[in-house]
Amino acid sequence: MKEYDVFIAGGAVAGPIAAKFCAMQNLRTLLIERERVPPSKTLLRDSIPIF
Q: Are 28 and 3 in contact (CB under 8 A)?
A: yes
Burial of 1 (0-12, 13-18, 19+ CB in 10 A): exposed
Sorted by sequence, the CB contacts under 8 Å of residue 3 that are 6+ apart come out as 28
Each residue's pLDDT tens digit, 3-27: 999 999 987 778 888 988 999 999 9
Lowest mean pLDDT, pick from 10-14, 26-30, 31-35: 10-14
| pLDDT band with cut points at 50, 70 and 90 for residue 48 | low
Domain boundaries, the chain: 6-45
**Measured distance CA(44)–CA(34) in Å, rounded:** 18
Using alpha carbons only, what angle is made at residue 38 by residues 36 and 15, rounded to the nearest 5 degrees?
110
